[in-house]
């Protein structure tokens, strides 16, 4: 997720890679677009019969709202809500209440509730990887303030979603507490909107392996400002990505030169301890990624902020940049698998 001025109806209508990049707003217009991942069943409830429910949400909150198109065999869709920060927060509160009202009875004898008796639930927001630092803040102080002020709890997945630069942030709590948290998250995103430029948006159709449950991600729970990591292997994304065919027109897998007028610039952050595996011995791996994708890729020499991550700048056509991202993430996943395997072998020896 990142702030965007793209009309929601366009986001709901299109799932093509050409429409995969966010166009962040300027602070002057104050428009926030916040995306969330919902199930197909939840999407049906949000839309309602003949579109009645989503029309009511638009009327009551003043937002633009829509859900991505159905992809056969995929059980997730993207909810997109656009408007002022306050209107977006109100819309999500209405949506969560709507989902709770239409939820089937819980099979467990006890339903989680807050101290005031309200039912606890959750929403999975899509947040640009480059904007995560804005929400977390130095030493986790910002996210702690959001949680303390709203009463909601936030859990962030460490892995980016397949073929995108978005991550899932699950916000848990009562509908009202989630709404308050979303309002604060929205303020953070608009204040630092420039870091979200060039975000590659996630499309559920690109994650069939994830839908089938073959892959598990690493999540981080933020409680009282501390980071509590839950290590889990992530095989599904790599398996899905490695089976992808070359881009049309590149029959030999090597990109061809293109006109400068079609070039785009994208920035992604990579953990400093993973940069070496992307560069390779004497720069062999990054050279190969540049050759295969056709994009120019430059790497910052030092971390760009307190997260310790280094900025990669990718310049090329939409197709070239998409392939460069695919190759970069593939290399990251391979390195993660190698490290997990090495740790497992060390534990066996012990």
Q: Report yes or no on 313 lying in a domain.
A: yes
Report yes or no on 58 lying in a domain: yes
Sign of CA dihedral 104, 109, 114, 118: positive
pLDDT at position 300:
87
110 in any annotated domain: no
**Pick the residue with more confidence: 67 or 341?**
67
Specify whether 206 is located in the same domain as 260: no
More confident residue, 271 or 168: 168
Give 231's pLDDT tier (boundaries 50, 70, 90): very low
65, 187: one domain: yes
Identify whether residues 225 and 251 lie together within a single domain.
no
pLDDT over 50 (residue 295):
yes
Owner of token pair 């892959």: 215
Domain of 331, in residue numbers: 245-349
Specify the number of domains making up the chain.
2
Of 17-26, 67-76, 108-117, 235-244, the range with the highest mean pLDDT is: 67-76
Q: Are residues 170 and 282 in the same domain?
A: no
Contact between residue 204 and residue 211 where contact means Cβ atoms under 8 Å apart: yes
Domain at 315, CATH number = 3.30.1370.10
Does any domain span residue 238? no
- Cβ distance 224 to 140 under 8 Å? no
Nearest to 219 by CA among 146, 142, 160, 306: 160
Distances (CA, A) of 281 to 115, 210, 278, 330, 332: 56, 32, 9, 17, 15
Give residue-wise pLDDT tens across range 89-135: 999 999 999 999 987 765 443 345 555 556 788 999 999 988 988 89
Is 141 domain-assigned?
yes
Helix, strand, coil shares, percent, the chain, to 5? 45, 20, 35
Residues 27 and 141 in one domain: yes
Q: What is the pLDDT of residue 157?
A: 84
Residues 98-109 pLDDT 10s: 999 987 765 443
Q: Are residues 86 and 159 in the same domain?
A: yes
Q: Are residues 286 and 217 in the same domain?
A: no
Residue with tokens 């049906």: 44
Is the residue at 109 inside a domain?
A: no
Query: Does 112 reside within a domain?
Result: no
- Listed residues 202, 230, 258: the one ending a domain: 230
CATH number of the domain enclosing 189: 3.30.310.210
| Stated pTM of the model | 0.58
Q: Are 185 and 276 in the same domain?
A: no
């Amino acid at each position: 997720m990142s702030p965007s001025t793209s009309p929601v109806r366009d986001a709901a209508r299109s799932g093509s890679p050409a429409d995969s990049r966010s166009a962040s707003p300027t602070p002057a217009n104050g428009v926030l677009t916040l995306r969330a991942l919902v199930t197909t069943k939840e999407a049906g409830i949000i839309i309602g019969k003949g579109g009645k429910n989503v029309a009511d949400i638009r009327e009551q909150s003043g937002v633009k709202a829509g859900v991505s198109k159905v992809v056969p065999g995929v059980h997730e869709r993207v909810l997109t809500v656009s408007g002022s920060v306050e209107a977006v927060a109100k819309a999500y509160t209405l949506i969560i209440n709507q989902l709770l009202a239409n939820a089937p009875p819980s099979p467990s004898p006890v339903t989680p509730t807050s101290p005031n008796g309200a039912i606890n639930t959750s929403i999975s927001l899509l947040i640009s990887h480059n904007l995560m630092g804005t929400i977390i803040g130095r030493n986790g102080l910002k996210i702690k303030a959001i949680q303390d002020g709203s009463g909601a709890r936030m859990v962030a997945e460490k892995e980016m979603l397949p073929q995108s630069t978005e991550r899932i942030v699950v916000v848990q709590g009562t509908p009202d507490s989630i709404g308050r948290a979303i309002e604060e998250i929205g303020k953070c995103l608009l204040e630092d909107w420039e870091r979200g430029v060039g975000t590659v948006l996630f499309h559920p159709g690109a994650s069939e392996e994830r839908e089938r449950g073959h892959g598990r991600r690493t999540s981080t729970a933020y409680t009282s400002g501390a980071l509590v990591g839950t290590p889990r292997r992530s095989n599904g994304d790599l398996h899905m990505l490695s089976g992808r065919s070359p881009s049309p027109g590149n029959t030999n897998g090597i990109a061809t030169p293109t006109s400068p007028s079609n070039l785009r610039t994208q920035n992604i952050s990579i953990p400093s301890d993973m940069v070496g595996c992307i560069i390779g011995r004497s720069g062999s791996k990054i050279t190969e990624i540049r050759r295969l994708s056709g994009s120019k890729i430059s790497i910052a020499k030092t971390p760009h902020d307190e997260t310790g991550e280094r900025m990669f700048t990718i310049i090329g056509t939409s197709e070239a940049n998409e392939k460069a991202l695919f190759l970069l993430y593939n290399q990251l996943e391979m390195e993660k698998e190698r490290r997990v395997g090495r740790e497992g072998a060390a534990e066996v020896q012990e």
